Structure 1
């Protein structure tokens, strides 16, 4: 467990995660204060990756609850094994009581309950909470504030040691204040050019320095355009790997044209960039890199 912000940033960096000072501070405080960390920001800016990195950094298991529309407690926390209960009723010699049927052996734990019971404790990633229906947030409040879960048939199960909780949201809708109040909050923005270049050095160490600088400058330029979906850091890393596979040592119009689908995921955005816009960005990149 890190004992300072600098140590936390260094441990994250050792795992290949280049954290800005504010994020390193939020992560450090979340660990020390045993509070959930709530991360909002554009897709592809490294929100999910921070949970994976914290798990690797601390040597803890990672439990991931991927949120989606219609997610309920049966999928997120626990459910009863009704098929096994019915079989037990049919095969039991004596009459079974409700206490027998709703005992622990019939309970199927899901991510939230597992996070409270695993030793360690684990890192619990509640990913893309904004995808879940708003009422689901109410189910989380007990877990986030008390690190416990009340099961009507069994009682309350409380974590011996609080799990490390990371919640992410792409902000497709607002998350309720009741959830945010129980967490430490940080907005994860697109990195500036210097930090994005350092991220590339960490994540794609085989990329030539000149190519990495051109890639970062081009993508920084793309983010200035009015696109439906701006490329995130994940796309920066993926594009760099793709360019290496094509043995590219520098950006050129043909290579950019042929690989835009790695960066942009909507045809309207590709149509907006390809051709003259891509050529303009390339000229801008060459001027920046040459000047730098």
Structure 2
């Protein structure tokens, strides 16, 4: 009999937030495993989580802090196992700002799921035995995708403009470059506040190397990945960004801040790291990528070597392992 799975995500229908993308993709993977899946919001009533009157067999809850009420409601209403999926703001922000809520969600979970290999570094030791890692999958770019422009060296930044992403760091790194540099940065992603939107517009006004195109559908992001020479992940915190998976599968070289969420996807020996928030170091890295073909080819070889981790089959097998860890 098919398992009845409720998948809780704080990002609503139509959202392009990472949590919604993860939930939608995992719903597809779980259905491929033969499960019946229902997506729900954390504030939803447990009565709506039933399948034709039957209780769920399993609950996935993305975000320990935002989904805390749903985790508690499931424990109080149903007897099914609970899987809590840990996000970047969970581990690197709310664990410290709201520890009681965060730790209560972890204690309520039968299994914890992380999205990158370095998560144990920042998780209390007592929870390590419950932790399983699921790398987020990505699809290859289409064979007829656009090619890079030979006249410029376009760098892509993809992600919503917010503090956790340190979103304008790449734009700052491209200020006042030598006139001979062909470096340009294209930024995709909606602004999470009026202040961020204003800052991006102000940066465009003063920095001719920077373009912010706002929120774009996934297919447009993939087009920009195919025409870019490099991607920058400048985040202060990440739970395991799917855009890194996509870059690896696409063979797109990455320059990334040296944080656990990036190291846990790209590997400890990845040659394209820079210290978080270090504008000068990022500028040096980008100029090196532009000037030294051997360096950017080294980055490309590394991301291509990581790509098998992010295959659809690997993600599906990992989710099957998470379900098995619940005894189902």
Superposition TM-score, scaled by structure 2 size: 0.27
Superposition TM-score, scaled by structure 1 size: 0.30
The structure with the larger Rg is: 1
> Which structure is higher in RCO with an 8 Å CA cutoff and minimum separation 6?
1
